[in-house]
Amino acid sequence: MKEYQTITEISGPLVFAEVDEPVGYDEIVEIETPQGDTLRGQVLESSDGLVSIQVFEGTGGIDRNASVRFLGETMKMPVTEDLLGRVLDGSGNPIDDGPEIVPDERRDIVGEAINPFSREYPEEFIQTGVSAIDGMNTLVRGQKLPIFSGSGLPHNELALQIARQATVPEEEEGDEGDGSEFAVIFGAMGITQEEANEFMDDFERTGALERSVVFMNLADDPAVERQVTPRLALTTAEYLAFEKDYHVLVILTDMTNYCEALREIGAAREEVPGRRGYPGYMYTDLAQLYERAGRIEGKEGSVTQIPILTMPGDDDTHPIPDLTGYITEGQIMMDRDLNSQGVEPPINVLPSLSRLMDDGIGEGLTREDHGDVSDQMYAAYAEGEDLRDLVNIVGREALSERDNKFLDFADRFEEEFVQQGYDTNRSIDETLEIGWDLLSMLPEEELNRIDEELIDEHYREEEVEAVQAD
Partner 1 sequence: MSQADETQTETVSEDGVIESVSGPVVTATDLDARMNDVVYVGDEGLMGEVIEIEGNLTTIQVYEETSGVGPGEPVENTGEPLSVDLGPGMLDSIYDGVQRPLDVLEDKMGTAFLDRGVDAPGIDLEKQWEFEPEVEEGDEVEPGDVVGTVPETVTIDHKVMVPPDYEGGEVTAIESGEFTVEETVVELSSGEEIQMHQEWPVRQARPAENKETPTEPLVTGQRVQDGLFPLAKGGTAAIPGPFGSGKTVTQQQLAKWSDADIVVYIGCGERGNEMTEVIEDFPELPDPQTGNPLMARTCLIANTSNMPVAARESCIYTGITIAEYYRDMGYDVALMADSTSRWAEAMREISSRLEEMPGEEGYPAYLAARLSEFYERAGRFELINGDEGTISVVGAVSPPGGDFSEPVTQNTLRIVKTFWALDADLAERRHFPSINWNESYSLYKDQLDPWWTSEIASDWAEVRQWAVDVLDEEDELQEIVQLVGKDALPEDQQLTLEVARYLREAWLQQNALHDVDTYCEPEKTYRMLTAIKTFNDEAFDALEAGVPVEEIQDVDAAPRLNRMGTSEDWEAFIDEIEADLEEQLRALY
Residues within window 300-319 making contact with partner 1, judged by CB under 8 A:
316-319
Q: How far is the CB of 273 from partner 1 (least distance, A)?
A: 7
Residues between 330 and 349 with contacts to partner 1, criterion CB under 8 A: 330-331
Q: What is the 3-state secondary structure (H, E, C) of 206-270?
A: CCHHHHEEEEEEECCCCHHHHHCHHHHHHHHHHHHHHCCCEEEEEEEECHHHHHHHHHHHHHHCC
- Using the rule CB under 8 A, is 74 a contact of partner 1? yes
What letter would DSSP give residue 415? I
Q: Are strands 246-253 and 302-310 parallel, antiparallel or unpaired?
A: parallel
Contact of 68 with 31, CB cutoff 8 Å: yes
283 touches partner 1 by CB under 8 A: yes
Contact with partner 1 (CB under 8 A) among 104, 181, 245, 322? 322
Query: Of 35, 36, 48, 194, which one interacts with partner 1 (CB under 8 A)?
Result: 48
Site string for partner 1, 222-241 (x = CB under 8 A): --------------------
Do the Cβ atoms of 74 and 108 come closer than 8 Å? yes
Q: How many CA atoms lie within 13 A of 118 on its CB side?
A: 8
If one asks whether residue 400 binds partner 1 (CB under 8 A), the answer comes out as yes
Smallest separation (angstroms) from partner 1 to the CB of 78: 18
**Binding residue (CB under 8 A) for partner 1 from 1, 102, 272, 469:** 272
Asked if 277 interacts with partner 1 (CB under 8 A), we say no
CB of 280 to partner 1, least distance (A): 5
Residue 326 near partner 1 by CB under 8 A: yes
In terms of CB distance, is 177 or 298 closer to partner 1?
A: 298
Nearer to partner 1, 89 or 368 (CB): 368
Residue 345 preceded by cis peptide, ω within 30 = yes
Kindly tell me which of 75 and 87 has the beta carbon lying closer to partner 1. 75
Per DSSP bridges, beta strands 294-296 and 119-120 are: antiparallel
HSE at residue 418, side-chain half, CA atoms within 13 A, is 28
Instruction: Tell me the per-residue interface mask from 360 to 399 with partner 1, x by CB under 8 A, - otherwise.
Output: -----------x---x--xx--xx-----xx--xx---xx
Out of 294, 307, 346, 435, which residue is the one contacting partner 1 (CB under 8 A)?
294
Q: How far apart are CA 246 and CA 179, in angstroms?
A: 9
16 is a site residue for partner 1 (CB under 8 A): no
Q: Minimal distance in Å, beta carbon 390 to partner 1?
A: 6
Using the Cα atoms of residue 210, residue 246, residue 183 and residue 103 in order, give the sign of their dihedral: positive
* Stretch of residues binding partner 1 (CB under 8 A), selected from 16-24, 88-96, 154-162, 203-211: 16-24
Query: Which residues in the 122-181 window bind partner 1 by CB under 8 A?
Result: 122, 142-143
Are 122 and 140 contacting, i.e. CB atoms less than 8 angstroms apart? yes
Report the run of H or E that residue 75 belongs to, with start and end: none
Options 219, 267, 287, 467; binder of partner 1; rule CB under 8 A:
287
Phi, psi of 17 (to 5 degrees): -140, 150
